[in-house]
Structure 1
Amino acid sequence: MADEYFLLVCDDVSHDVVLTDPGPRVMDVVQVVRRLKGLSLWHSKVLVTQVPAVIFTDLSEEAAAAAVSALRDAGARAETREQPEPDFPKR
């Protein structure tokens, strides 16, 4: 039996949240990342200082926009990126 893959029309496109620049208030951004991801302070600081960093993957558009808004409010530059559609094998 061959594996078959279907992309449902009702499936939302997944989004990633990418931190491109922590800005001048790095510790404020670290605190936001810590709150959103539930990481330790140290892990959050490491993630924020290694930009560009993918903070979240596979989020809905609304959740990604909320995360980007929280990061921007803390002084960071962040953006959402749509994940590319999977490249399923052709029959």
Structure 2
Amino acid sequence: MADEYFSLVCGDVPHDVLLTDPGVRVMDVVQVVRRLTGLSLWRSQGLVTQVPAVVLACVPEEDAAAAVSALRDAGARAETRERPEPDS
């Protein structure tokens, strides 16, 4: 009997949303972070002022892109980063 090996290919690599600069409209960015994360206003403001900060971790690529777009619309600089695959 021959051994068969299969390689699982996952098309949905988790992404992180990284806030690199809140810009000049900090309160607008705080409101977006609050909406995205569900954090309180106080914690959202703390997250925004401690950049670079991971706003969302391990989210699908589409959700990460939408979050970055919302942050950029509010005047912030943000980017997505692929999560490195864990060593097996």
TM-score normalised over the length of structure 2: 0.89
Structure 1: give runs of 5+ residues left out of the alignment.
1-6
AA paired with 1:72? R
- Superposed CA deviations along residues 6-64 of structure 1, whole A, max 9, x for unmatched, are x7313521100000000000000000001111111100000000000000111111000
Gaps of 5+ in 2: 1-6
1:27 aligns with 2:27: yes
Number of aligned positions between the proteins: 83
2:59 corresponds to? 59
Quote the offset at 1:76 in angstroms: 0.1
Percent pairwise identity = 78
Equivalent AA in structure 1 for residue 32 of structure 2 = V
SS state at 1:9 partner: coil
Q: CA RMSD in A?
A: 1.5
Tell me, yes or no, if structure 1 residue 71 matches structure 2 residue 59.
Answer: no
Query: Which amino acid is 1:74 matched to?
Result: A
Following TM superposition, the consecutive aligned residue runs of length 4 or more in structure 1 with deviations greater than 4 angstroms are none
Name the counterpart of 1:4: none
Match of 2:48 in 1: 48
Displacement, 1:85? 1.1
TM-score normalised to the size of structure 1?
A: 0.86
